[in-house]
């Protein structure tokens, strides 16, 4: 509890959380008050910012601000979805392996290493192309989550195996708790703050990955995303025509979101890792 | 600057490894191409070159873009409709054959003359080997004869070549297409090589011809890497005397850099690193001040010759209903497509598949289009047509379309438009189409798939609507070949089996409602001589097309774009000086530009 | 030998696991691309059918020929294509394809590209790889080194320096590489025209050991280099900083101070101990090279393996995909294995844990 | 003669907000050759600060307010950090740290860390002689020198590590050794061993005198010759071990003892907090007796009049009612 009070005192955390909150508001609250329309064409391609269209229009003559907001929203959604999947999978596998040790651990490690060995970006692309609907925002998020969990598994595993030898765990073992019971009651609780940090990082990673895929022109076909905005800007020559409004805002948004998450994470690290505290 | 040592070191490291990457012609030791002696062209080569084997269907530039190394018999000029001489001096279309007379002076880069034997051999390869491109040609001809053979004094060689038309498939147009499309190969080079690969064409196809291949063209292969392909002028090119009064081509080198996206070609053009390109450059008017020009200085900037369209699988509900197809045609906002997807590089769309301008305009009939045409943006008529045919759209409370229902109130399956992912201009067209169809109450959605999946789907008919540009090459057989490609059902195969034209399975001969007249007209037109007869036939065919609307034309496009930069070279043809058609140097007639341009400044 | 040398035994054990991973990975690499129902041959057909009017029979003949060339159909004893009732060629089962693949790759033959036929996969990789390595390797290594130095410095100095360096690094490392790339291209490449907007070297040159070419290549190298370098730098700096702060707080550092041991020595203690975990990071970064290359190469129109791979993926050019992924797999495994062993040697704590010798 | 003289030493911390915390407030004592002084007090009473004071180690935010520290008559209070490092630390005054278990660099062999220590004070020595010295010394403190010197900390059991630490700290035969709760983390047997070792070192004249710091008064009974009880930055009672432990005159001393003796196993870890209340905030000046508001026998004027150390029954006590 004291730790969380500490969080609220740390300027880093406040900065990060604040920034992130802003992006959330932009993505989910602003649309309630403003008409976000990514369909209707309101003018010609790449019209510069104006009174009606603060960020001008994109290559399809659609209001850029709307595109940004919609894009930000789906980017965040992907991030959360992928982050959650990756964290849950990774935690379960990591904790179990880390606690059990022995052969099971070795096999699980092999499994995780597999995913580290086969470049996840490639797996991702192949998976998404092998399915008819593979390019929907949801499935992309799913795939990202399913390829990213290995990292969290590794991280969590290390922590879990360090807990393994702790007295209270041994005690529980002696008192004949089931493995699951021990993991749930005596290991997970001690990792919670850590797992939460993993989640934050995974969310950021998810957002970045989606953006990268979209940058390759392999992004979701059923929705706007920041990465896709950038891809379109590049492909339809916003750079050569100097239409900065078509890509600079999107770039800034991605950076801000990721930055905010990183800051929050490091701030938490500072609080939860006593050695870093002072 | 702490990073510089890094840069240098890395560069060195890279090069020590990286030199495997370049195979400059050993005879030529120069490490560079002087800018004022080099013409840079772009847009005909994507990805690193695989092979320069002329029998392969998919070689690297400049083999795939004709007439730099290998040459065709004739050069079709899409502006005049004339087949201008190249290796062939003249030709004559007879009732049962096409007769070609070859140039006297033509010779290959190794000095050997280009003879009737070479021509005969080249075409007959398609008879022997099924996988070479020319193979298709043999379903239209029965033989290639050299009438003079045997009658010639020694030292002389046959110059008359006779292409005997297949009576069952009588089609002079296809022959003419082939004459301006088939590169003539040196028999004395190819034959032995095939023999060496013990007459197995696949073994032969593994030969890359990447060491100065022998052709009759004005340039020879200089060097290539995954970044560029370079050709060097052949100073004793036979054509210099025949066509250019002994003048040599202006540029010593023609180089095709290989970039990883349209935008890179566009940047290169604007920075004067590239002289001409056939890539799609959006909003060209913004680039004019940087010395980049198109055929016209104002809209539509390019002469158009092909029609990107939505191919309709007429066996899928509800697209089997002509009324639904017409409704779609009425629904689509063609102005949006023109202004947004193709930067306005198109005349306003007219119904039917005959271009209202250029050579085809003489077959174009305004009344027909007015009475039968559905390719006009008219949402109200779209809705009306749907209503009349008994379709009802269903909307949710805030006016969003949920689904479309048929007369019995059954939900119609969503119509998906398939298009290759990453083809941005097509993607944009599709998005606009979907947007307008939904606005009219038709439940349609985009489906962008990878190239591989796309082509498979196309041939197997596994689609509802599909983006495609029929007969996209310039050819004397227009507009017939366009109709042929879309309507011909003689090779009908059910969905799941491959078809290589008429992907929409239109006009199945076995099904009821079969229009025999269509196939009849397609067979008839190529054999017609008199223009008024042709006009009549085309008119009938076009009307049938508009009534049944088997496909949905979307916009007009050039068969290839044509941008040039006058920073380094001047004298490129354009609408003011149309001495050549808009084709970039190295490609078909565009090759002749190389004799007309001069260094700027 | 193994029996009485715990370290060796451990290494052997690890190697065993890595080899197992390798086998599984190879299998996945083979099957994954072949999951979808896409067919590269159809792409090939579409390309080959340029110009002229196509004829059904001829095309089907051609397709059969291709399928045969690329070993995608069942062949009977006489080597003819087996056909089904409708006269369509029968596709070869994945398993038989897999067998021949393993057989071939054991002889170091990665097969022939389908879309770039008759190019060999090995050829494609060997022409592209030098560029990828040349760009990625120095970038990652230098970024890693400077990043760690910066991080350590920030941790040790703290105060003003840290207050600038730390948020700075954090910000840079959260700029996605491609954003930085686009930014650099737009500002330095297109707007100011100080650096080339793309490419590996001047179009007017062909690669050769000439001062002209070298300087050109160096010049074209700068932007892509920066776009990756900065990101790596930032990331590493952050990691290293917190590691160092942790080390600075440890008892042994305090004690060393009280013993009057030289400041420089103490710093070395800290730096070395903080470094060890960073090594794993390096291994992973090196492993991710090819994947990471993709975007940079496309933004900067830079030669390399990334684009070869991407085009292969988009056209389902199985042999190329599998070849590239195989390469990646091997590099990652080697990188990880080396670090595993290396750390064992460098860090007694881990060695003891590994070998269980007290 | 006196090895170490601390004269009216005042040391303070400067917090980030500029507040001044007087952690050590006027401590005076001297350590004779061969003497073992025990310093006892609750944690937070200023023991550890006093130690760095004695070492002349003033690393911000710690600052010397006034007073002086002399070793063999030479003042070390105002030396530069580096001079102090070279001349004093490990050389004249050596520390034996609290958490000996983690005090050794895990990735460095014992011999290397040890020689680092020697070289840091004198670069001229050559490796061979160093190794000889190390072996000789480690054998002397009863360690299997060859094995220990050539192994990493992880490979050594706790007790050995403790010995190694002592060995390294005393390598340069320092005049004074300051042991800061060296035994707190150890089990009883090792505690005894450690203390015995320290005695041996003194008998062998390797170290000449020692300051032993702890919060467990009773521990000092068999260790130190005299004891100083510290409270809120000041000595409140200074006398022989017997005097302080069995006959404490300062209420605080008695409270400290009391809280121990009365402690039964169950609450051992609670001591010495068994005394009501908490030490005063040293952030602001305090009038009167600093123990006043916790003192069981407090008199009305205690908290008004400042207390000075005065002689009661030949020992120093800082309480006006002590008798």
- CA-to-CA distance for B43 and B259, rounded, in angstroms? 9
Identify which has the larger pLDDT, B24 or B245. B245
Q: What value does the mean pLDDT take over residues D25-40?
A: 89
pLDDT value, residue C7:
76
Instruction: Output the average pLDDT for chain B.
Output: 90
Per-residue pLDDT of A209-218, as tens digits, reads: 999 888 887 7
DSSP element (H, E) containing B82:
strand B82-85
- Are the C-beta atoms of residues B75 and B67 closer than 8 Å to each other? yes
pLDDT surpassing 90 at residue C353: no
pLDDT at residue D43 tops 90: no
Q: List C-alpha distances in Å: D50 to C263, D25, D42, D45, D214.
A: 23, 10, 14, 9, 13
pLDDT band, very low/low/confident/very high, at A2 (cuts 50, 70, 90): low
Please report, for residues C145, D46, D293, the alpha-carbon distance to residue D286 in angstroms, rounded to integers and kept in the order given. 54, 16, 12
Domain boundaries, chain A: 59-277
Using a CB–CB cutoff of 8 Å, tell me whether C43 touches chain A: no
Instruction: Report CB contact under 8 Å: C238, A266.
Output: yes
Q: In what order do the strands lie in the sheet with D20-32?
A: D20-32, D2-14, D62-71, D74-75
What is the arithmetic mean of pLDDT over B333-360? 95
pLDDT tops 90 at residue A277: no
Give the pLDDT of residue B472: 84
Residue B372, pLDDT > 90, answer: yes
Residue from the list D94, D101, D154 with its beta carbon closest to the beta carbon of C352: D154
Residue C178 has pLDDT above 50, yes or no: yes
The pLDDT, as a whole number, for residue D259 is: 60
Q: What is the pLDDT of residue B173?
A: 92
Element (H, E) at B233: strand B228-233
State pLDDT tens for residues C64-100: 888 887 888 888 888 788 888 777 788 888 888 888 8
Confidence of residue B595 (pLDDT cuts 50, 70, 90): very high
Which chains border C (3 or more CB–CB pairs < 8 Å)?
A, B, D
The residue among B553, B575, B531 whose CA lies nearest residue B351 is B553
Task: Identify the residue among D54, D62, D103 best suited for mutation to test binding to C, counting C beta carbons within 10 A and taking the highest.
Answer: D103
φ, ψ of residue A74 in degrees (nearest 5): -65, -35
Average pLDDT over residues A120-124: 74
pLDDT at C166 over 90: no
Q: Residue B263 and residue A44: Cβ atoms within 8 Å? A: no
The pLDDT confidence band at residue D131, using thresholds 50, 70 and 90, is very high
Least CB-CB distance to A44: which of B339, B431, B447?
B339
| CA distances from residue B404 to B17, B393, B407, B552, C11 in whole angstroms, order as listed | 61, 4, 10, 20, 66
Q: Mean pLDDT across the stretch C49-65?
A: 72
Q: How far is CA A98 from CA A151, A155, A161, in A?
A: 14, 10, 4
Instruction: Tell which wins on pLDDT, C106 or B494.
Output: B494
With CA atoms as reference, the chain D residue closest to C259 would be D90
Give the percent of chain D with pLDDT over 90. 7
pLDDT band per the 50, 70, 90 thresholds, residue D85: confident
Handedness of CA D133, D138, D140, D144 (dihedral sign): negative
Kindly state whether C279 is in contact with chain D, defined as any CB-CB distance less than 8 angstroms: no
Distance of alpha carbon C82 from alpha carbon C92, whole angstroms:
10
Q: What is the model's pLDDT at position B583?
A: 95
In chain C, the residue whose alpha carbon lies closest to the alpha carbon of B497 is C88
Q: Is the pLDDT of residue C106 over 90?
A: no
Q: Answer whether residue B28 shows pLDDT above 50.
A: no
- pLDDT, residue B29, reads 41
pLDDT value for B301: 96
Nearest to A137 by CA among A34, A211, A84, A63: A211
Which residues have CB under 8 Å from B425's CB, separation 6+?
B280, B341, B342
The residue ranking higher by pLDDT, D184 or D9, is D9
CB contact under 8 A, B421 and A221: yes
Which of D80, D42, D88, D87 has its CA nearest to residue D64? D80
- In this model, does residue B352 exceed pLDDT 60? yes
Would the pLDDT of B20 be above 60?
A: no
For chain B, give the percent of residues with pLDDT over 90.
75
**How far is the alpha carbon of A55 from chain C, nearest alpha carbon, in Å?**
18
Which one of B263, B281, B450 has the shortest CB-CB distance to A235?
Answer: B263
Mean pLDDT of B237-247: 95
Interchain contact, A204 vs C336, CB within 8 Å: no
Task: Report the range of poorest mean pLDDT among A166-180, C164-178, D278-292.
Answer: A166-180
B253-257 sheet: strands from edge to edge:
B219-224, B228-233, B253-257, B38-42, B276-277, B563-565, B292-293
Chains that touch D (3 or more CB pairs under 8 A): C
Tell me: the pLDDT tens digits for C268-316?
888 888 888 888 788 878 777 777 778 888 889 898 888 888 888 878 8
SS3 for B449? Answer: strand
Domain A59-277 has CATH 1.10.3720.10: yes
The predicted pLDDT at position A165 comes to 67
Nearest CA in chain A to C325: A118
Task: Report the mean per-residue pLDDT for chain A.
Answer: 84
Find the CB nearest C138 among B10, B47, B227: B10
Higher per-residue confidence, D316 vs D1: D316
Give dist(CA B255, CA B228) in Å, integer: 7
pLDDT band at B21 (very low <50, low <70, confident <90, very high): very low
pLDDT score at B18:
42
Per-residue pLDDT for B6 more than 70?
Answer: no
Give the HSE-up count for residue D53: Cα atoms under 13 Å, Cβ half-sphere. 31
Distance of CA C8 to the CA centre of its chain: 29
Contacts of C43 in chain B (CB under 8 A): 451-452, 455
- pLDDT band per the 50, 70, 90 thresholds, residue B190: very high
pLDDT of res. A3? 65
- For residues C293 and A93, the model is more confident at A93
Nearest neighbour of C358 by CB, restricted to D94, D117, D155:
D155
Put the strands of the sheet holding D209-214 in their side by side order.
D93-96, D176-180, D209-214, D36-40, D226-231, D234-240, D315-317, D310-312
Rounded Cα–Cα distance for residues D25 and D12 (Å): 8
Pairing relationship of beta strands B74-77 and B82-85 according to DSSP bridges: antiparallel
C140 to chain A, any CB pair closer than 8 A? The answer is no
CB B38 within 8 A of CB C144: no
Joined together, the tokens standing for residue B455 give: 């082509």
The most confident of the ranges B94-108, B469-483, D215-229 is: B94-108
- Please give the average per-residue pLDDT across B93-120, as a whole number: 95
> What pTM was computed for the model?
0.84
pLDDT tens readout for residues B299-324: 999 999 999 999 999 999 899 999 99
pLDDT of residue D269: 46
Instruction: Nearest by CB to D107, from C254, C265, C347: name it.
Output: C347
What is the per-residue pLDDT for D295?
83
Please state the rounded mean pLDDT for residues B402-416.
Answer: 93
Task: Specify whether the CB–CB gap between C66 and B131 falls below 8 A.
Answer: yes
Give D86's contacts in chain C (Cβ within 8 Å).
260
Please say if the pLDDT value at position B23 is more than 50.
no
**Taking CB atoms and an 8 Å cutoff, what residues of chain C touch D55?**
258
User: How many whole angstroms separate alpha carbon A183 and alpha carbon B21?
Assistant: 55
Whole-number Å distance between alpha carbons of B430 and B439: 14
**pLDDT for res B403:** 92
**Chosen from B5, B57, B200, B251 to mutate, greatest number of chain C CBs within 10 A:** B57
- Express each pLDDT in B569-585 by its tens digit: 999 999 999 999 999 99
Residue in C with minimal Cα distance to B499: C56
Q: What is the mean pLDDT of residues A25-33?
A: 92
Residue D267: pLDDT band (50, 70, 90) is very low
pLDDT value of position D99: 67
Whole-angstrom Cα Rg for chain C: 26
Return the residue matching tokens 């029929």: B470
Of residues D143 and C88, which shows the higher confidence score? D143
C316: CB partners within 8 A, 6+ apart: A129, B450, B452, B453, C33, C36, C38, C39, C40, C43
3-state secondary structure B132-191: CHHHHHHHCEEEEECCCCCCCCCCCCCCEEEEEECHHHCCHHHHHHHHCCCEECCHHHHH
Interface probe for A, chosen from C24, C30, C169, C174 (most Cβ of A below 10 Å), is C174
> Mean pLDDT across chain C, nearest whole number?
84
The residue-averaged pLDDT of B179-208 equals 92
Q: Are A214 and B421 in contact (CB under 8 A)?
A: no
* Radius of gyration in angstroms for the set of CA atoms belonging to chain B, rounded to a whole number: 26
- Tell me which chain A residues have a C-beta less than 8 angstroms from the C-beta of B262: 235, 237
pLDDT in tens, A225-264: 999 999 999 988 999 898 999 999 999 999 999 999 988 9
Nearest CB among A113, A119, A230 relative to C21 is that of: A113
Tokens representing C33?
Answer: 């691309």
- Rounded Cα gap, residues B456 and D270, in angstroms: 80
pLDDT digits (tens, 9 = 90+) for D181-227: 776 666 677 777 888 888 888 888 888 899 988 887 877 888 888 99
- B205:C134 CB<8 A: no
């Amino acid at each position: 509890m004291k730790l969380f009070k500490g969080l609220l005192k740390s300027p880093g955390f406040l900065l990060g959380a604040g920034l992130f909150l802003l992006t959330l508001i932009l993505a989910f609250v602003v649309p309630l008050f403003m008409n976000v329309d990514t369909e209707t064409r309101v003018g010609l391609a790449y019209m510069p910012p104006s009174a009606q269209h603060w960020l001008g229009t994109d290559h399809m003559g659609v209001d850029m601000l709307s595109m940004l907001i919609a894009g930000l929203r789906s980017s965040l959604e992907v991030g959360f979805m992928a982050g959650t999947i990756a964290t849950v999978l990774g935690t379960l596998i990591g904790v179990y392996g880390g606690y059990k040790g022995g052969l099971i651990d070795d096999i699980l490690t092999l499994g995780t290493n597999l995913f580290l060995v086969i470049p996840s970006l490639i797996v991702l692309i192949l998976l998404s192309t092998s399915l008819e609907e593979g390019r929907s925002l949801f499935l992309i998020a799913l795939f990202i989550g399913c390829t990213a969990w290995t990292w969290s598994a590794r991280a969590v595993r290390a922590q879990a195996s360090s807990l393994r030898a702790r007295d209270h765990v041994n005690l529980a073992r002696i008192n004949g708790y089931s493995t699951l019971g021990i993991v749930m009651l005596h290991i997970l609780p001690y990792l919670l703050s850590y797992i939460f940090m993993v989640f934050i990082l995974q969310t950021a990673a998810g957002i970045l990955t989606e953006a990268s895929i979209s940058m390759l022109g392999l992004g979701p076909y059923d929705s706007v995303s920041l990465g896709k905005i950038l891809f379109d800007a590049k492909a339809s020559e916003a750079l050569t025509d100097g239409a900065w409004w078509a890509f600079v805002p999107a770039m800034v948004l991605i950076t801000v979101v990721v930055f905010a998450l990183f800051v929050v994470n490091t701030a938490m690290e500072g609080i939860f890792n006593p050695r870093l505290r002072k | 600057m702490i990073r510089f040592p890094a840069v240098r070191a890395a560069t060195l490291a890279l090069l020590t490894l990286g030199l495997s990457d370049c195979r400059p012609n050993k005879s030529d030791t120069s490490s560079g191409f002087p800018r004022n002696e080099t013409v840079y062209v772009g847009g005909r080569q994507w990805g690193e070159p695989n092979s320069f084997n002329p029998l392969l269907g998919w070689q690297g530039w400049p083999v795939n873009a004709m007439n730099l190394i290998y040459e065709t018999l004739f050069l079709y000029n899409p502006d005049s409709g004339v087949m201008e001489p190249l290796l062939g001096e003249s030709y004559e279309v007879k009732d049962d054959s096409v007769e070609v007379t070859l140039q006297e002076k033509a010779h290959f880069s190794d000095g050997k003359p280009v003879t009737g034997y070479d021509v005969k051999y080249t075409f007959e390869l398609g008879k022997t080997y099924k996988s070479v491109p020319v193979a298709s040609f043999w379903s239209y001809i029965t033989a290639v004869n050299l009438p003079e053979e045997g009658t010639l004094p020694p030292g002389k060689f046959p110059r008359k070549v006779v292409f005997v038309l297949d009576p069952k498939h009588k089609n002079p147009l296809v022959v003419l297409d082939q004459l301006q499309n088939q590169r003539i190969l040196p028999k004395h080079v190819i034959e032995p090589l095939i023999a060496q690969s013990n007459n197995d064409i696949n073994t032969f196809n593994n030969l890359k011809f990447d060491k100065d291949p022998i052709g009759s063209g004005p340039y020879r292969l200089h060097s290539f890497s995954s970044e560029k392909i370079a050709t060097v002028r052949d100073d004793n090119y036979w054509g210099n005397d025949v066509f250019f009064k002994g003048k040599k081509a202006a540029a010593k080198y023609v180089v095709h850099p290989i970039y990883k996206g349209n935008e890179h070609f566009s940047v290169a053009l604007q920075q004067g690193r590239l002289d001409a390109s056939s890539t799609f450059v959006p909003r060209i008017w913004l680039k004019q001040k940087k010395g980049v020009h198109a055929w016209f200085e104002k809209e539509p900037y390019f002469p158009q010759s092909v029609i990107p369209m939505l191919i309709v699988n007429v066996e899928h509900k509800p697209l089997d209903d002509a009324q639904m197809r017409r409704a779609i045609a009425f629904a689509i906002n063609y102005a949006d497509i023109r202004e947004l997807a193709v930067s306005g590089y198109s005349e306003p769309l007219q119904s039917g598949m005959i271009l209202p301008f250029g050579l085809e305009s003489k077959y174009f009939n305004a009344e027909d289009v007015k009475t039968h045409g559905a390719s006009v943006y008219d949402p109200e008529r779209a809705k009306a047509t749907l209503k009349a045919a008994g379709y009802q759209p269903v909307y949710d409370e805030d006016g969003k379309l949920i689904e479309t229902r048929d007369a019995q109130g059954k939900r119609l399956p969503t119509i998906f438009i398939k298009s290759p992912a990453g083809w941005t201009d097509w993607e944009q067209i599709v998005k606009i189409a979907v947007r307008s169809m939904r606005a009219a109450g038709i439940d349609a959605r985009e489906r962008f798939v990878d190239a591989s999946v796309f082509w498979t789907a196309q041939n197997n008919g596994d689609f509802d609507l599909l983006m495609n540009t029929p007969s996209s090459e310039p050819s004397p057989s227009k507009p017939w070949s366009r109709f042929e490609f879309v309507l011909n059902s003689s090779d009908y195969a059910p969905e799941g089996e491959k078809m290589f034209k008429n992907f929409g399975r239109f006009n199945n001969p076995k099904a009821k409602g079969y229009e025999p007249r269509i196939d009849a007209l397609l067979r008839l037109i190529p054999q017609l001589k008199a223009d008024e007869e042709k006009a009549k036939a085309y008119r009938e065919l076009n009307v049938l097309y508009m009534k049944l609307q088997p496909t949905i034309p979307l916009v007009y496009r050039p068969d290839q774009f044509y941008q040039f930069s006058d920073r380094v070279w001047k004298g490129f043809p354009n609408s003011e000086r149309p001495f050549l058609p808009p084709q970039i140097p190295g490609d078909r007639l565009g090759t002749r530009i190389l004799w007309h341009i001069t260094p700027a400044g | 030998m193994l029996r009485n040398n715990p370290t060796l035994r451990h290494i052997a054990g690890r190697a065993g696991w890595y080899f197992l991973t390798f086998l599984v990975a190879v299998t996945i690499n083979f099957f994954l691309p072949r999951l979808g129902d896409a067919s590269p041959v159809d792409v090939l057909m579409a390309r080959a059918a340029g110009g002229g009017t196509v004829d059904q029979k001829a095309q089907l003949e051609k397709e059969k020929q291709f399928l045969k060339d690329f070993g995608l159909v069942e062949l009977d004893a006489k080597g003819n294509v087996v056909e089904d009732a409708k006269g369509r060629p029968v596709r070869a089962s994945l398993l038989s394809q897999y067998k021949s693949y393993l057989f071939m790759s054991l002889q170091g033959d990665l097969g022939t590209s389908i879309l770039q036929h008759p190019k060999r996969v090995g050829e494609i990789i060997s022409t592209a790889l030098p560029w990828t390595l040349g760009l990625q390797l120095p970038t990652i290594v230098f970024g890693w080194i400077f990043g760690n130095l910066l991080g350590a410095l920030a941790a040790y100095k703290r105060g003003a320096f840290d207050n600038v360096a730390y948020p700075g690094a954090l910000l840079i490392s959260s700029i996605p590489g491609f954003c930085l790339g686009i930014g650099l291209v737009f500002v330095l490449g297109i707007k100011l025209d100080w650096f080339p907007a793309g490419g590996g070297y001047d179009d007017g040159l062909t690669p050769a050991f000439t001062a002209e070419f070298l300087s050109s290549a160096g010049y074209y190298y700068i932007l892509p280099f920066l776009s990756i370098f900065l990101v790596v730098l930032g990331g590493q700096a952050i990691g290293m900083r917190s590691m160092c702060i942790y080390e600075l707080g440890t008892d042994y550092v305090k004690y060393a101070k009280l013993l009057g041991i030289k400041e420089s020595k103490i710093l070395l203690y800290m730096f070395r101990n903080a470094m060890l975990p960073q090594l794993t990071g390096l291994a992973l970064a090196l492993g991710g090279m090819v994947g990471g290359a993709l975007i940079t190469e496309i933004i900067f129109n830079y030669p390399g393996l990334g684009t070869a791979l991407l085009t292969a993926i988009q056209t389902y050019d199985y042999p190329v995909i599998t070849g590239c992924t195989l390469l990646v797999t091997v590099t990652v495994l080697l990188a990880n294995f080396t670090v595993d062993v290396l750390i064992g040697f460098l860090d007694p704590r881990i060695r003891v844990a590994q070998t269980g010798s007290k | 003669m006196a090895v170490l003289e601390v004269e009216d030493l005042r040391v303070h911390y400067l917090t980030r907000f500029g507040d001044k915390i007087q952690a050590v407030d006027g401590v005076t004592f001297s350590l004779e050759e061969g003497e073992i002084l025990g310093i006892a007090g609750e944690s937070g009473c200023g023991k550890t600060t006093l130690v760095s004071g004695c070492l002349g180690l003033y690393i911000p935010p710690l600052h010397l307010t006034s007073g002086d520290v002399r070793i063999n008559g030479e003042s070390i209070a105002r030396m530069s950090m580096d001079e102090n490092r070279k001349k004093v630390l490990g050389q004249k005054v050596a520390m034996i740290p609290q958490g000996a278990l983690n005090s050794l660099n895990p990735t460095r062999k014992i011999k290397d860390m040890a020689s680092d220590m020697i070289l840091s004070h004198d670069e001229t020595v050559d490796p061979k002689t160093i190794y000889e010295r190390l072996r000789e010394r480690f054998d002397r403190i009863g360690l299997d020198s060859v094995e220990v010197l050539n192994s990493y900390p992880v490979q050594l059991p706790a007790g050995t590590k403790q010995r190694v630490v002592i060995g390294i700290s005393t390598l340069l035969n320092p005049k004074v050794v300051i042991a800061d709760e060296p035994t707190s983390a150890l089990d009883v047997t090792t505690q005894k061993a450690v203390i015995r070792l320290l005695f041996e070192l003194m008998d062998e004249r390797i170290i000449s005198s020692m300051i032993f710091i702890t919060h467990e008064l009773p521990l000092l009974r068999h260790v130190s010759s005299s004891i100083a009880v510290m409270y809120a930055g000041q000595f409140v009672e200074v006398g022989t071990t017997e005097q302080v432990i069995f006959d404490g005159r300062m209420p605080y001393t008695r409270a400290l003892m009391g809280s121990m003796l009365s402690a039964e196993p169950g609450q051992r870890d609670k001591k010495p907090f068994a005394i009501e209340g908490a030490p005063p905030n040293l952030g602001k000046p305090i009038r009167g007796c600093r123990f006043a508001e916790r003192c069981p026998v407090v008199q009305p004027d205690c908290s008004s009049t400042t207390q000075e150390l005065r002689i009661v029954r030949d020992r120093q006590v800082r309480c006006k009612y002590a008798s």
